[in-house]
């Protein structure tokens, strides 16, 4: 899971406080370890996005370096976990609950 963020992003900071500490301990975090990329940095050569990132944070699920889906923004942990579950299930990362 790629997280695109930028300095001064209040929603990124909120995600860092609410989700980041537990992400690596969850099945989702173990299936898709977090990789952070700054919005203004050059995209790493091994990451291929379907389109530009406009909002931060943006969470991009990749398979073999290619984007398969994304979540734009962060509106709280309940909605985030629901969206992650839907995204992961749709792309076969985790089985449906």
Cβ count near 97 (within 10 Å): 5
CB count within 10 Å of CB 91 equals: 14
The pairing of strands 58-63 and 66-72 is antiparallel
Q: Provide the pLDDT for residue 19.
A: 98
Per-residue confidence (pLDDT) for residue 97, from 0 to 100 = 55
Q: Which residues contact 83 (CB under 8 A, 6 or more apart)?
A: 71
The pLDDT, as a whole number, for residue 96 is 55
> Mean pLDDT in runs of 10 for the chain (97 residues)?
98 98 95 97 96 97 96 97 94 72
pTM (two decimals): 0.94
């Amino acid at each position: 899971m790629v997280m695109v963020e930028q300095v001064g992003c209040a929603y990124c900071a909120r995600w860092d406080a609410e989700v980041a500490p537990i992400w690596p301990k969850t099945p989702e975090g173990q299936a898709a370890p977090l990789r952070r990329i700054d919005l203004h940095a050059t995209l790493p050569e091994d990451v291929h996005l379907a389109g530009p990132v406009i909002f931060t944070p943006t969470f991009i699920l990749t398979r073999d370096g290619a984007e398969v889906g994304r979540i734009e923004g962060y509106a709280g942990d309940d909605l985030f976990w629901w969206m992650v579950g839907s995204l992961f299930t749709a792309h076969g990362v985790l089985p449906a609950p």
